[in-house]
Each structure stands twice: as C-alpha cells, then as structure tokens.
Amino acid sequence: MTYQPIIGLEVHVELKTKSKLFCGCPAEHFGTKPNTQTCPVCLGLPGALPVPNKKAVDWTILLGLALNCSIHKVSRFDRKNYFYPDLPKGYQISQYDEPLASKGFVKIDTKKIRIRRVHLEEDAGKLLHEEVNGVKSTLVDFNRSGVALVEIVTEPDVRSSEEARTFLKKMRQIARYLGISDGDMEKGTMRLEPNISVKLETRNTKHEDDLPPYKVEIKNINSFNFAKKAIDFEIARQVSLLEKGETPLQETRGWDEKKGVTVSQRGKGEAHDYRYFPEPDIPPMEFSKSQIENLRSQIPELAEEKIARFIREYNLSQYDAEILCDSRERAEYYESTIRELKNLRIKELTEKTVANWIINKKVDTSKVAPEDLVKMIAATTQTTSMPDEELEKIIKEVISKNPKAVADYQGGKEQALMFLIGQVMRETKGKRGFDKMKTVIEQRLNA
Amino acid sequence: MKNNDLFRKTIPELQNLVKERKVSYEEILQENIKVISTQEEKVNAYITLTTKKAIEERKKLSPDGFNGHNYLYGIPLSVKDTFTTKGITTTAGSKMLEDFIPPYNATSYQRLIDEGAVMLGKTNMDEFAHGFTTEYSAFKITHNPWNLNNVPGGSSGGSAASIAAGEARLSLASENFGSIIQPSSICGIVGMKPTYGAASRYGIIAMASSLECPGIMGKCVEDVAIGIDAIIGLDPLDATTFSYSAKNFFPGLSTSLKGKKIAVIRPIMENLDKEMVKTIENALKTLVKAGAEVNDINWYDLGLDSKIYDVLYRSEVASNLARYDGIRYGYRSLAKEESLNDYYLSTRDKFGPHVKRQIITDPILLSSDGDDVYRTVLKLRRRNQQYIDLLFKKYSAIISAASTFTDLKIGEVAKPEWREKNRRLGKINGAMMCPSVLYGYPAISFPIGFSKSNMPIGVNVFGFRCQEQELLNLAYSFQEESDLKCLRPELLS
C-alpha cells in the first residue's frame, strides 16, 4: 500500500502595471506610506465605478498564451461577494465562468501540469494589527486595494512538494521573461495556495481520475522554502490520519511558519457562498483573432525554447543552457558576448568557453560589458607583448580611478575584481595574458 | 419683470430676456429662492439646501455669459441626493450616509455646472432609491405641490416636487423603476431618462447598476432637451458609456410627426382606470392631428418584465450596498463588539426596514443553489429585448401609462388594504416601467391632462436606443398643440 499525494495549485501573480486594475492609482505599493495611493474607486466610495486597465488584460492574455491556454473570444468580470474589512466594496471584482484563458499546460522536466484557468482580479487591502493609544487595534491599508492580480489554477496533477516548487519556479520564470511581474514570494507579488489530498493506492486502482473525497487548502505561504515545507507537513499529517482509518476533513488551513505546522482556519461548513454574478459596471470584453495573434507575436522566446536553441546552436550541455537561461537578462547577455566573439573574430574561443566563464567566474553581467568579457577571456590565451612596467603602470591608474570597486573588493565582493580586470583590459588591449594581470591586480589590492 | 411671470418661461426664453437685459440672473435665482423660503417647509423637496453657496456663485456670473449654446448658464438646479457632490453632504436618503461628504463630483452633475448651472440643493428620495413615493426617505416625507396631502411619487420625488413647486428650474434625477417617469407624471412636469450608457453613472450612489441611469426633469420639453444635451456623452470614468454621435436635441426640436408610426400597448390600457385611459386616448388624438399614425400592439406576458427586473435588481442591490460597513466612511456602530460579524450586524442595522428587506432576499437568488435563476433571467432579458427591438423597426415610439395612480395620499401605501387592492396594478406597473429600464431604451414622461381631483396625468413614451430626438419631438409636438407647459400648482400661487 502506498499513499499518493494529489495536489492542485492556485498561484496568484501580482502584475507590475503602472496603475491599478480599475483606477489610475499607482500599483507599486511595497513599502509605501499607508493609504497614500487611494482614490474613490479603490476605496469603494459610493458611486465610484471601475474601468479596466487594458495593459493588465493584455498581460493576462500574454501569460495565458505562454501557458499554452486557449484565449476566449468573450470574457467578463464577475462579483465575488463577501464581507471583510480589507475588501472595500464588500465584493471582489474577479472572473468566474468566463475567464480570460483556460485549458493550457506547463512542462516541468518531462511532465505536463495541466492549467485549468487563468483569470484576472483585483487585490484586497492589507490589515495591520497594532496598538493605537494603548488599545489593540486593527488598521487597514488600502494601497494594495485594486492592484491587478492574475490567478493561475492547475488541475490536480502535482504529486510532490518538489514538483510544486519546480512548477512555482517555472511560473516565476515565465512571468519574469514576459516582464509582467516580479514573482517575488517574499514581497507577496507571487502567492501559492495548494489544495492537497492523499490517495491510497492499491494494486487495483488504476484510475488516475478518481480523486479523494476531500481536499485541504493551505494559505499564508510566503516563500519557496515554506511551500515545500507546508506541503510536506500536510501530506504527512493526512497520511497519519488515513493510517488511523480516518478521512481528513475538507477545510482551509494556514501555514504557521514559526511552529512549522498547518493550522485549521475554516471548515467546510463555514465555507463562503460567494454569490457570483456578472459585474454590471463593466461590459463583457471581446477579442478578435487578430488581437490575440498580435499579442501572441509579442511573446519573447521563453526559457524552454531558449535552452533547446542554446544546446543546438552553441553546443552547450543541458545544465549550462539551463543556468544561462534562468533569467532572460543573463541569457541575453550570453548571446551578446557570442556576437562580440564573432565580431572580434577570436577563433580560438568557443561558445562553450564563454558559457563556462559566465557560469563559473560569476561575472557581474550588469557591470562587465560583453565586449570586455570577450577580451578578458581571449587574454587568458594570449602571449605577452607588453613590458611588465607598462602593465604595472596601467594597473596603478585603474586602481586609483576606481576607489569604489576597490573598496567593494576589499569588502569581500569578488565580482569587483572582474570589473577592475575589465578596466585594465581596455588599456592593455589584449596585449597581456589574463592570469598575469589577475595576479598583479590581486597583489596590489591585497598589499 | 414680476416673479410670477418668470415661472412660465422656458430656459431659452429666460436666456433671451437676460440678453435683452429685461431680466437678470439674480432675479432668476431669487425667484426660486423666494419659493423655497415660503413653500419648502410645506413641500420638503430638499434634504440639503445650498442656497447661500448659490448666491455666492451667482455673483460670478456675467450678464453676457450666455453664448448661444450654454443654455444652463445661471440656471438654478436641484440634484437628487443620490449624485455625489464634492464638499456637499450626499445621503442617498439614508442614515447610513447622514454625514457623508464626497470628495468628488458625479459626472452628470459636473457637466451641468460646467455649463454654468447653479445648484440650490440636494433633493429628497426614498432611501437608496428603494421606493416609489419618497415616503421611505430616512429624513423626511416630500409632499406633492399639487396637493400637499399627496405623495409626489418616487424615488425621485424630491426632484419632481422641486420643479413643480418652482424651487428650481431643472433637476438632475435618476431612473431605475419609473423613478423619473412616474414622479414627473404625478407632479405635472416633463422627465426623461436617456439610453442606458448615453449618460455617465459615475457618482450615482448605486442601487442596481445595470438598470439605473441619470436623467433630467424640467417644466417643459425645451428645458429637458437642454439638460439631456448637457449630460450625454462618453465618460472615461464609466466603462458602460459610449460616445453619442448625434446630440443637439434642443436645436433639433420639431413639432411635425408626419409619417411617424406610434404604438400603444393595448393590454396595459385595458387594466388602467377609466379616467386615465380617456386622457391618454385624447392625447393620442392630438398626436394623430400632428401627423402621426397610432396603432395598437399586443405584448408578451405583462408580468414577465417585472419578474426579470426583480431578480436583477435584488441581486445587484445587495452587492451594491455591501460597501456600507462603516470602516471608511458613513455610519459606524460605536458599540463594543465581540466579533467582526457582530460589528457588521450593529453597523448595518442603520439601514431602513425597506432596504433591509431588499438585501435579505438577494442571497436566495444568487446562492450557489439558486445560480440558475440569475442566468435564466439574463436569457429571458435578451429574448424580450430582441422582441421589442423588432417592434422598433416599425414604430418610432411605444406609448404606455406613466403611473397607475394620480391621487395617492401620504401613508396610503403602507396600509394593507391598498396593497391588496393594488396587487393586480403592481404587475401592470412593472409592464409600464420595466421595458425602458431593462432594455436600456430612452423614455420620456410629459403632462397630458388632469384628473377630476385636479391632479396632473402624464404619459410614458419609450423609443429605440439613441432615438431621444424622436421622443422629445413627440412630447414637444403634443406640448405645443395642447399648451400643457410649465404647469403651475394653484396651491402655491
């Protein structure tokens, strides 16, 4: 007898649009003074009306396309009704039965995780529990109220906490590649709510579709680490109940990071009836084929395709290609250095060597220009054609001109050394070998 | 010129008189302020008066301010208290918002004052527009200027009374279920709601978002056409508005109805009282004289529209009123509560009983078990709309009654006998009021005669979307033929 975890994921991604979803207030709310970014619309004042942000709608479609979803010709907003002090209108404008995108999939390693739906909704405000004039109080900050939030819901295809984490990282990578969100779990711009149940697998049960008669939703997970821990804890908790012959209760539980356990928040009986109905203040949205194709053409080459191409074009290993493509910026930096390599016609260097350099020598891609990097690498293989005195002189000058980089290096930032080497390189124009240069600079700096 | 003579002038006539220096904007303003000072305590049209502010604003006006287009320049305005007005208390007739001072203007109000209108005050209404007699205001009961024992209709009863009494020239009101049409008719004035989406709802304290619509009340068709001209147009703050291509209703007014086909909903007429039917029949004769062809038409189930309306309205109302939780503004219970739920209960207890009833019935309609009700109703709504849209291929306007009663005493509606007697009429009332509201058609009400008890009788005409001009012309043609224009209640003269 084995226990099979059945996990479905709900991921919320906060879009980094300039303004909120339904009004002109700034969307960036992290670290802002409470209630300084509000207006009648996001405060839910009487008579104020929501007007959808086109960019947020486009970006949600973009994400849907990147997740291989179908985009619906007609989509609309609905009201999700419930009371809570951080919800100014007494309802959240969300999407119910006509989301922007549905029925997609994401590949993690060789497995497909099916995407059920991708929809757009508004975020709520934030509650702050503080003492005001000696009285325990709850305060509300509405700066986050109305910020655009995309919800991605998977089918229950995830089987372990490791898969969940891989999926989450993939979501973050896609959002960042598309440039639509920072996907930062610590800052709350990406949030995870897994639905977990555990199925007893006997030899006879081959039906993958048979789901357990309950599921447990986990809230309050705010890091990749906790995502794994919370899921592992919950699976173990449910398995121990099942072993005692009990069926876990259908409920919502919260992750308590201090105790490292999940705690019951709301039972099935207390489940909300949200009384969804179509948002009458916003007409249904209609999309033509050409609008959707136009958006599709805006999707950049995503990590998956890039990795395959790097392996093919540059002869890289899967491992190297994955590291280079982890972020769009690093992948693009790598390709710029390859272009420089070709411009400079340095035949003795291979794309693989450049990749190794970027990966192993921890090049700070924001400081070292691709051209300099190529020269730097080339220098390692060059012979001496400049007197030592001249080299010493150049190094002395570079050190005196770049006190900040020197201080950084002396403060322990290894990357500053690469920057200084790059500067020396500019002057020596490749006339001295890399290793010699590095040794001399280090000697100077450590003297 | 004597104030008495000013009462019967239209806004364009007033502007000409100012131009010729026969009347000043000061006199126009004072004419209304004088009526307010002598009659308002009997009429109770206003919740908040802003006459002092109006006098200050009047001082900024130039006698040459009228440029041939801005007809509202210096014209005294009343505004239903459901429209938010920056820095001026806006209550929606509810204790929940007794002290609410909005930091922003409703778009329709903004457009009227942009043209130069001067606001005299905020008018009384049924709480959150739930009612049809203005008796369900949390603050006061408005009296009909034609008979102070009578209701003025509702929910825009304060606006209608303010025009009929001469306490303002023009009123900004809102329509939801006859909220403009019915009080206009009972108070002997002209009222119009434009096509849904033609005028912005931004700043209307929402009752039922997909149904309500701002509109204008005035003493005559010219004035109302001018007001509608001013409020219509795309608003970036309201996603349901559209850009209205042909608006110039006042200059476009014409009395000729030649070649126009008008339909009368016969099954409704068969259910009304004889005096009202006779008055409507006479009005139809006048329209025929002006060149129109009038035909009887049948209707689908008379009770159907009000059933559809009921589901949409109750569902939206509960949701729209959810924001009144006392956390950011409005009434807040000071009782120390044990739980969040108790806090909501004691704060939201401030809603009037009529409003509470509406809120409570919603969860039944929208709960996950009842999910199908709402969607079924949306389908029916589309079907009926297609039926009426087809009628408009043939007819330029459809006529029905504007009110099921002419002479309703204050307090009468609360009596069980009245409710019993009017059960049947309630259904007819729905058939009269719902089409324009449910399907977004423009509608107009104008006076066509008087009852034996000398109460005004109006008629309700609705037309195809964006055909406001057709309706205004029909009303204008009748007005010019009958001279039922700028009617003045004798009680107050």
Residues A32, A45: Cα–Cα separation, whole Å:
22
* Model confidence pLDDT, tens digit, residues B416-471: 988 888 887 888 888 999 999 999 999 999 999 999 999 999 999 999 999 999 99
Contact (CB<8Å) B106/A88: no
Select the residue of B239, B240, B344 nearest A83 (Cβ to Cβ): B344
Contact (CB<8Å) B316/A275: no
Contact (CB<8Å) A51/B237: yes
Nearest to B168 by CA among B185, B156, B150: B156
Question: Residue A316 above 80 pLDDT?
Answer: yes
Q: Enter the DSSP assignment of B411.
A: T
Chain A residues in contact with B362 (beta carbon < 8 A) = 275
Distance from the B184 Cα atom to the nearest Cα atom in chain A, whole angstroms: 24
Which segment of A120-124, A354-358, A424-428 scores lowest on mean pLDDT? A424-428
Which segment of A117-131, A228-242, B61-75, B307-321 scores lowest on mean pLDDT? B307-321
Contact (CB<8Å) A49/B237: yes
Distance from the B387 Cα atom to the nearest Cα atom in chain A, whole angstroms: 22
Distance from the A137 Cα atom to the nearest Cα atom in chain B, whole angstroms: 12
Residue to test with chain B: of A74, A281, A286, most B Cβ within 10 A: A281
Is B246 touching A (CB cutoff 8 A)? no
Tokens 């807040």, residue located: B332
Q: Please, which pLDDT band fits residue A6 given cuts at 50, 70 and 90? A: very high
Select the residue of A47, A81, A275 nearest B206 (Cβ to Cβ): A47
Question: Residue A189 above 90 pLDDT?
Answer: yes
Kindly report the average pLDDT of chain B as a whole number: 93
Mean pLDDT, rounded, for B111-118 = 97
The predicted structure's pLDDT at residue A369: 85
The predicted structure's pLDDT at residue B386: 95
Mean pLDDT, rounded, for B80-104 = 97
What is the fold of B3-256+470-492?
Amidase signature (AS) enzymes (3.90.1300)
Domain annotation for chain A: domains and CATH numbers: 2-296 (no CATH), 303-446 (1.10.10.410)
Select the residue of B201, B315, B324 nearest A49 (Cβ to Cβ): B201
Distance from the A150 Cα atom to the nearest Cα atom in chain B, whole angstroms: 21
Contact (CB<8Å) A47/B203: yes
Is B206 touching A (CB cutoff 8 A)? yes
Question: Residue A428 above 80 pLDDT?
Answer: no
Question: Residue B58 above 80 pLDDT?
Answer: yes
Chain A residue with CA closest to B92: the answer is: A46
The predicted structure's pLDDT at residue B292: 96
Question: Residue A345 above 80 pLDDT?
Answer: no
Mean pLDDT, rounded, for A110-132 = 95
Chain B residues in contact with A275 (beta carbon < 8 A) = 315, 319, 362-363, 366-368
* Model confidence pLDDT, tens digit, residues B171-217: 999 999 999 999 999 999 999 999 999 999 999 998 888 899 999 99
Q: Please, which pLDDT band fits residue A396 given cuts at 50, 70 and 90? A: confident
Residues A420, A397: Cα–Cα separation, whole Å:
11
The predicted structure's pLDDT at residue A208: 58
* Model confidence pLDDT, tens digit, residues A348-380: 778 888 888 888 877 777 778 888 888 777 777
Which H or E element spans position B462?
strand B456-462
Distance from the B52 Cα atom to the nearest Cα atom in chain A, whole angstroms: 26
The predicted structure's pLDDT at residue A304: 92
Nearest to B128 by CA among B102, B84, B92: B92
Mean pLDDT, rounded, for A303-331 = 93
Residues B454, A176: Cα–Cα separation, whole Å:
74
**CA-to-CA dists, residue A217 to A20, A116, A124, A193, A253, angstroms:** 28, 17, 19, 7, 6
Amino acid at residue number B109: Y
Residues B161, B184: Cα–Cα separation, whole Å:
9
Contact (CB<8Å) A45/B102: yes
Q: Enter the DSSP assignment of B459.
A: E
Residues B465, B442: Cα–Cα separation, whole Å:
6
Chain A residues in contact with B328 (beta carbon < 8 A) = 43-45, 88, 142
Which segment of A274-283, A290-299, A379-388, B105-114 scores lowest on mean pLDDT? A379-388
B22 is catalytic: no
The predicted structure's pLDDT at residue B424: 79
Determine which one of B137, B162, B179, B436 is catalytic: B179
Question: Residue A26 above 70 pLDDT?
Answer: yes
Nearest to A22 by CA among B198, B212, B239: B239
Residue, of A3 and A101, whose pLDDT is higher: A101
Contact (CB<8Å) B366/A81: yes
Contact (CB<8Å) A81/B210: no
Q: With beta carbons less than 8 A apart as the criterion, state whether B281 and B274 touch.
A: no
Question: Residue B3 above 60 pLDDT?
Answer: no
Kindly report the average pLDDT of chain A as a whole number: 90
B254 is catalytic: no
Chain A residues in contact with B382 (beta carbon < 8 A) = none
Residue to test with chain A: of B86, B109, B366, B378, most A Cβ within 10 A: B366
ipTM computed for the complex? 0.93
Mean pLDDT, rounded, for B325-339 = 88
* Model confidence pLDDT, tens digit, residues B349-405: 999 998 998 888 765 666 665 567 888 888 999 999 999 999 999 999 999 999 999
Packing angle, helices A54-66 and A289-296, rounded to 10: 70
Distance from first CA to last CA of chain A, Å, rounded? Answer: 67
Determine which one of B78, B137, B155, B315 is catalytic: B155
Q: Please, which pLDDT band fits residue A13 given cuts at 50, 70 and 90? A: very high
Question: Residue B96 above 60 pLDDT?
Answer: yes
Which segment of A357-366, B84-93, B249-258 scores lowest on mean pLDDT? A357-366
B155 is catalytic: yes
What distance separates the 2 farthest-apart alpha carbons in chain A? 84
Is B360 touching A (CB cutoff 8 A)? no
Length of chain A: 447
The predicted structure's pLDDT at residue B320: 95
The predicted structure's pLDDT at residue A175: 97
Q: Which residues contact A384 (CB under 8 A, 6 or more apart)?
A: A431, A432, A433, A436
Mean pLDDT, rounded, for B288-310 = 92
Q: With beta carbons less than 8 A apart as the criterion, state whether B478 and B285 touch.
A: no
Question: Residue A386 above 80 pLDDT?
Answer: no
Question: Residue A383 above 60 pLDDT?
Answer: no
Contact (CB<8Å) A45/B322: no
Nearest to B195 by CA among B476, B472, B477, B475: B472
Contact (CB<8Å) A280/B378: no
Mean pLDDT, rounded, for A187-194 = 94
